[in-house]
């Protein structure tokens, strides 16, 4: 019933819709003027702000690696008791497809050959140019790109899942502006994220259909024309709409796993049918060269040897990754709840980057080998003439070219469907204040709008202008992102300090619970596996009076203390501290599967496993993994005071 009610945030929904229509109309009606205007902005950025782009991306990469190796790495993106929603393989597949899967299909062959033919320094089409081509390709598609996605996802996931803020881009500014994120500033930030997502996905759809059209022409003779491309966009968005309608756990998850499997299959085809030993050697060498030169390449602005190359490649990539990061980062955050920061960074930064570098080696070095060693100059000519044909011209040089080209076309289509449906999902969340259970019409609206924008710009030749505007928008976002990263470190320091205090002995150890009846009764409680009714009754008869007693005494001391009666039989105590962090102590019934030694009746082994319950303690930061079932009222009061004393010590340290 809840999902049938409108959940949209009117200022964000209508504001972004109006701005999208206005911008698209401008690009359609005045494509030349729009391209000139946005082009001048981008040229100014390249000439005057290139140093800031390079420095910002370098700081982001350093920050992400530091987070994984520091004491903050053990903190979870969610309460301390939360667990990952998706298994690792599914998680990796969704990361890969949303992050840059389609880019690998388009540039896996084309970019290494472009750098080989026209390197920034050195002699073109030489052995040195071949080595430099792969190092540059690794540089553009490696750790820097994924670190941008990772930091945005980290900020959003941390503040949303651990601190209860909405899963929208505005939450990234919470450490900087506090509760004002819920006002006009927050609305403006979410509108900016929606514009970047819609325009980024739409321009990718517009350019991507060129590759699909080229592949169909190569395989089946389908004419390369605007009507065919419009039909392809319509078909892609129709599939994306079906996927969005089916939800994240069905459509997007299934398509991501399917495409990851197809990508591995195509990779193995090229690896086996191509120069296998050469590729294995170059992968090791390329990786070593990339890592050994990562610092020098990161900060290289060609200041002493001015060239337009950096503006057309490195800065263009940094701008594109930054402009896409609100969309990809929010999607990654959505699927990463329950993982530790260290696990998250390793999964988002190193696993996809490693697969990306392997992909670029297999496709890029095979293409270079064909041109440099086997003299297939026609492949280089094709890339120069039309980069959308690069992949299919490349596969034509290998055995089973028809099969692999068909597989490649299918992968490109699915990659575009997953980009479109994940984009629509993200935009819908942004326009709904971070809510996931939204009416079907809202999800369909954004999915259809992305397709309409792509078709309109394709027909009016406005794709180039919009792409330039999207990349130029990365400059102000980079400034906001650096500020948000600083805010993330401030918040992490507080959480890590509180986590450390939790394990400090601030007073004498808590005495063991006293059991009327002696040690025999204590032993019986240790081996007992209570039902929900037993735990619920214990919470009602022991924990609630304990919380009431502490709350009453705190109110006598002038504090605002309330006993919270929550769902599922939970009871808690909340103490408000004004502008400082409030204290919350809660006891909840939590279910577990009974161990095998406790199941005395083995005759119904086929029946559902029986559950037992524990009365576990939860604080603001999540579950504490200890059980108070069977304790007396005084022991529960003592535990509340222990936790409150730690909280007060934490506030003392961070004031």
Closest CA to 195 of 453, 493, 572: 453
Pick the CATH number of 2-495 from 3.30.1490, 3.40.50, 3.30.43, 1.20.1740: 1.20.1740
**Structure tokens that stand for 334 in this block:** 């959505």
* The pLDDT of residue 2: 38
With a cut of 50, which residues of the chain have pLDDT below it?
Answer: 1-4, 505-510, 602-608
Domain segments of the chain as ranges: 2-495, 514-654
* The pLDDT of residue 512: 52
* The pLDDT of residue 565: 86
* The pLDDT of residue 507: 42
The answer to whether residues 410 and 230 touch, using CB atoms and an 8 Å cutoff, is no
Spatial separation of the C-alpha atoms in residues 456 and 23, rounded to whole Å: 12
| pLDDT digits 0-9 by tens, 191-249 | 888 888 888 788 777 777 877 888 888 778 888 888 898 888 888 888 887 877 776 66
Spatial separation of the C-alpha atoms in residues 651 and 654, rounded to whole Å: 5
Closest CA to 471 of 46, 1, 17, 5: 46
Check residue 504 and report its DSSP letter. S
* The pLDDT of residue 242: 81
* The pLDDT of residue 504: 56
User: Tokens 């496709």 belong to which residue?
Assistant: 363
Exposed, middle or buried, 436 (CB in 10 Å: 0-12/13-18/19+)? middle
User: Tokens 């052995």 belong to which residue?
Assistant: 127
* The pLDDT of residue 604: 47
What is the pTM (predicted TM-score) of this model? 0.81
* The pLDDT of residue 339: 93
Spatial separation of the C-alpha atoms in residues 532 and 388, rounded to whole Å: 61
Q: In sequence order, what are the residues at sequence separation of 6 or more whose Cβ sits closer than 8 angstroms to the Cβ of residue 641?
A: 550
The answer to whether residues 369 and 275 touch, using CB atoms and an 8 Å cutoff, is yes
């Amino acid at each position: 019933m809840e999902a049938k009610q409108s959940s949209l945030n009117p200022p964000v929904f209508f504001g972004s819709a109006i701005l999208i229509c206005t911008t698209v109309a401008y690009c359609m009606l005045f494509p030349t003027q729009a391209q000139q205007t946005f082009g001048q902005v981008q040229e100014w950025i390249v000439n005057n702000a290139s140093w800031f782009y390079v420095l910002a991306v370098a700081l982001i990469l350093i920050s992400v690696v530091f987070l994984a190796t520091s004491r903050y790495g053990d903190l979870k993106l969610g309460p301390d008791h939360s667990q990952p929603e998706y298994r690792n393989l599914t998680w990796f597949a969704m990361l890969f497809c949303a992050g840059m899967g389609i880019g690998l299909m388009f540039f896996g062959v084309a970019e290494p050959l472009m750098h080989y033919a026209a390197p920034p320094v050195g002699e073109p089409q030489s052995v040195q140019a071949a080595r430099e081509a792969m190092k540059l390709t690794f540089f553009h598609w490696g750790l820097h790109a994924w670190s941008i996605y990772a930091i945005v996802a980290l900020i959003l996931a941390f503040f949303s899942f651990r601190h209860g803020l909405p899963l929208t881009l505005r939450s990234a500014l919470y450490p900087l502006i506090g509760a004002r994120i819920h006002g006009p500033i927050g609305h403006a930030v979410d509108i900016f994220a929606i514009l970047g997502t819609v325009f980024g996905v739409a321009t990718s759809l517009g350019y991507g259909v060129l590759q699909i059209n080229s592949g169909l022409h190569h395989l089946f003779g389908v004419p390369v024309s605007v009507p065919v491309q419009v039909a392809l966009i319509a078909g892609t968005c129709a599939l994306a709409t079906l996927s969005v309608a089916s939800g994240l756990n069905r459509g997007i998850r299934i398509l991501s796993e399917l495409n990851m499997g197809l990508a591995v299959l195509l990779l193995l085809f090229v690896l086996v049918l191509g120069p296998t030993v050469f590729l294995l050697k170059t992968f090791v060498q390329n990786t070593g060269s990339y890592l050994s030169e990562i610092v020098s390449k990161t900060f290289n602005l060609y200041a002493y040897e001015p060239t337009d190359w950096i503006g057309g490649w490195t800065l263009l990539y940094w701008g594109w990754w930054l402009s896409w990061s609100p969309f990809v980062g929010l999607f990654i955050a959505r699927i990463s709840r329950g993982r530790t920061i260290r696990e998250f960074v390793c999964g988002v930064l190193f696993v996809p980057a490693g697969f990306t570098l392997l992909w670029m080696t297999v496709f890029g070095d095979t293409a270079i080998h064909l041109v440099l060693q086997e003299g297939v100059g026609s492949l280089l000519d094709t890339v120069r003439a039309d980069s959308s044909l690069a992949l299919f011209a490349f596969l034509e040089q290998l055995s089973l070219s028809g099969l692999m080209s068909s597989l490649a076309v299918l992968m490109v289509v699915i990659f575009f469907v997953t980009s479109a449906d994940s984009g629509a999902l993200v935009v819908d969340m942004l326009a709904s204040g971070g809510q996931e259970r939204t009416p079907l019409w809202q999800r369909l609206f954004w999915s259809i709008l992305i397709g309409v924008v792509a078709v309109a710009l394709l027909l009016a030749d406005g794709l180039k202008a919009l792409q330039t505007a999207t990349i130029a928008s990365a400059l102000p976002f980079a400034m906001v992102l650096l500020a948000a990263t600083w805010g993330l470190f401030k918040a992490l320091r507080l959480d890590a300090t509180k986590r450390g205090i939790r394990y400090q002995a601030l007073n004498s150890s808590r005495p063991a619970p006293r059991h009327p009846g002696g040690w025999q009764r204590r032993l019986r409680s240790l081996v007992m596996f209570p039902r929900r009714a037993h735990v619920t009754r214990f919470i009602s008869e022991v924990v609630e009076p304990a919380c009431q007693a502490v709350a009453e005494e705190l109110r006598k001391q002038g504090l605002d203390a309330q006993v919270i009666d929550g769902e599922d039989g939970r009871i808690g105590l909340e103490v408000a501290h004004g502008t400082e962090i409030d204290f919350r102590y809660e006891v909840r019934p939590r279910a577990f599967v009974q161990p095998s030694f406790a199941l005395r009746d083995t005759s119904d082994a086929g029946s559902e496993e029986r559950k037992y319950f524990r009365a576990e303690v939860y604080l603001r930061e999540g579950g504490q993994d200890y059980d108070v079932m069977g304790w007396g009222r005084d022991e529960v009061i003592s535990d509340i005071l222990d936790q409150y004393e730690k909280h007060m010590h934490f506030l003392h340290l961070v004031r």
